[in-house]
Amino acid sequence: MKDYFFQDTIGKPMDRVDGRLKVTGAAKYSAEYELPNMAHAVLVGSTIAKGSIKSLDTKRAENAPGVLAVLHYQNAPKVPGYAQAAHPTEPKPVGQPLQLFIDNQINFNDHPIAVVVADTLERAMYAAKLVKAQYNEEKHATDFNKNTAKAFLPTAAKRNPKHPLGDYVRGKEDAYKTEPLKIESEYVIPTEFHNPMELQSIIAHWEAADKLTVYDKTQAVMGTQNAFAKDWKIPVENVKVIATFVGGAFGNGLHTWPHETAAIMAAKKVNRPVKLMLTREQMFTMVGYRPHAWQKVGMSATKDGKITAITHEAIGQTSSYEEFTESTLQQTRMMYTSPNVTTRYRILPLDVSTPIWMRGPGEATGAFALESALDEMAFVLGMDPLEFRLINHTDKDPEKNLPWSTKYLKEAMQMGAERIGWSKRQLKPGMVKNGEWLVGYGMGVGTFGANRGRAKVKATLHKDGTLVMQSATTDIGPGTGTAMVQIAAQNLGLPPEKIVFELGSSLYPPSPSQGGSATVATVGSAVHAACQALKQRLTSMVAGNADTSFKGATVENLTFKDGYVSMTASPSARLSFADILKQQNLPELEVTEESTPDASLRQKYSMYSYSVHFAEVQVHPLTGQIKVTNMVSCADAGTIINAKTAGNQMIGGAVGGIGMALTEGAVMDHRFGRYVTKDLAEYHVPVHADAPNISSLFVNKPDLINNPNGTKGIGEIAIIGVAPAIANAVFNATGKRIRELPITPDKLI
Tell which residue, 467, 620, 480, 611, has the closest CA to residue 534. Answer: 467
When asked if residue 290 is in the footprint of ligand MOS (CB under 6 A), the reply is no
Tell me how far, at minimum, the Cβ of 164 lies from ligand MOS, in Å: 16
Please compute Rg for the chain using Cα positions: 27
Whether 716 is a known active-site residue: answer: yes
When asked if residue 357 is in the footprint of ligand MOS (CB under 6 A), the reply is yes
When asked if residue 223 is in the footprint of ligand MOS (CB under 6 A), the reply is no
- Does a cis peptide bond (omega within 30 degrees of 0) precede residue 621? no
Q: What is the 3-state secondary structure (H, E, C) of 413-449?
A: HHHHHHHHCHHHCCCCCCCEEECCEEEEEEEEEEEEE
Tell which residue, 322, 326, 257, 331, has the closest CA to residue 291. Answer: 326
Tell me how far, at minimum, the Cβ of 513 lies from ligand MOS, in Å: 8
Return the number of the residue (45 or 715) whose C-beta is nearest ligand MOS.
715
Instruction: Tell me the Ramachandran region of residue 104: left when phi exceeds 0, alpha when psi lies from -120 to 50, beta otherwise.
Output: alpha
Return the number of the residue (251 or 496) whose C-beta is nearest ligand MOS.
251
Return the number of the residue (35 or 685) whose C-beta is nearest ligand MOS.
685
Q: Which stretch binds ligand MOS (CB under 6 A): 178-186, 357-365, 499-507, 731-739?
A: 357-365
Tell me how far, at minimum, the Cβ of 292 lies from ligand MOS, in Å: 17
Return the number of the residue (288 or 465) whose C-beta is nearest ligand MOS.
288
Read off the DSSP letter of residue 549: G
When asked if residue 563 is in the footprint of ligand MOS (CB under 6 A), the reply is no
Count of all residues that appear for the chain in the document:
749
**Collapsing DSSP states into helix, strand and coil, what is residue 206?**
strand
Q: Which residues have CB under 8 Å from 428's CB, separation 6+?
A: none
Q: Which residues have CB under 8 Å from 714's CB, separation 6+?
A: 478, 517, 609, 635, 637, 646, 649, 650, 653
Buried b (16+ CB within 10 A) or exposed e, 342-368: bbbbbbbbbbbbbbbbbbbbbbbbbbb
Of residues 591-650, those binding ligand MOS (CB under 6 A): none
Residue closest to ligand MOS when measured from CB atoms = 251
Query: Order of strands across the sheet with 39-45?
Result: 67-71, 112-118, 39-45, 274-277, 201-208, 211-216, 239-242
φ/ψ of 724, rounded to 5, equals: -65, -30
Q: Which stretch binds ligand MOS (CB under 6 A): 124-132, 243-251, 550-558, 566-574?
A: 243-251
Tell me how far, at minimum, the Cβ of 515 lies from ligand MOS, in Å: 3
Number of Cβ within 10 Å of residue 88's Cβ equals 7
Count residues binding ligand MOS (CB under 6 A): 11
Q: Which stretch binds ligand MOS (CB under 6 A): 160-168, 172-180, 358-366, 726-734?
A: 358-366
When asked if residue 683 is in the footprint of ligand MOS (CB under 6 A), the reply is no
DSSP secondary structure string for all residues of 104-126? SEE-STT-EEEEEEESSHHHHHH
When asked if residue 361 is in the footprint of ligand MOS (CB under 6 A), the reply is yes
Among 251, 273, 416, 665, binds ligand MOS (CB under 6 A): 251
When asked if residue 250 is in the footprint of ligand MOS (CB under 6 A), the reply is yes
Q: Out of 387, 590, 716, 740, which one is annotated catalytic?
A: 716
Among 14, 241, 358, 531, binds ligand MOS (CB under 6 A): 358
Among 182, 359, 389, 712, binds ligand MOS (CB under 6 A): 359
Of residues 491-520, those binding ligand MOS (CB under 6 A): 515-516
Note whether 253 and 218 are within 8 A (CB): yes
Q: Which stretch binds ligand MOS (CB under 6 A): 75-83, 146-154, 247-255, 693-701?
A: 247-255
Note whether 698 and 641 are within 8 A (CB): no
**Cα-based distances in Å from 335 to 45, 212, 389, 404, 596:** 43, 46, 10, 11, 28
Question: Which long-range contacts link 228-237 to residues 24+ away (Cβ below 8 Å)?
Answer: 228/256, 228/260, 228/264, 230/81, 231/79, 231/80, 231/81, 231/82, 231/261, 231/264, 232/79, 232/80, 232/81, 232/264, 233/80, 233/81, 234/210, 235/210
Q: Which stretch binds ligand MOS (CB under 6 A): 240-248, 249-257, 434-442, 704-712?
A: 249-257
Tell me how far, at minimum, the Cβ of 327 lies from ligand MOS, in Å: 11
Tell me how far, at minimum, the Cβ of 715 lies from ligand MOS, in Å: 6
Instruction: Tell me the Ramachandran region of residue 195: left when phi exceeds 0, alpha when psi lies from -120 to 50, beta otherwise.
Output: left
Contact positions vs ligand MOS (CB under 6 A): 219, 249-251, 254, 357-359, 361, 515-516
Catalytic residues: 716
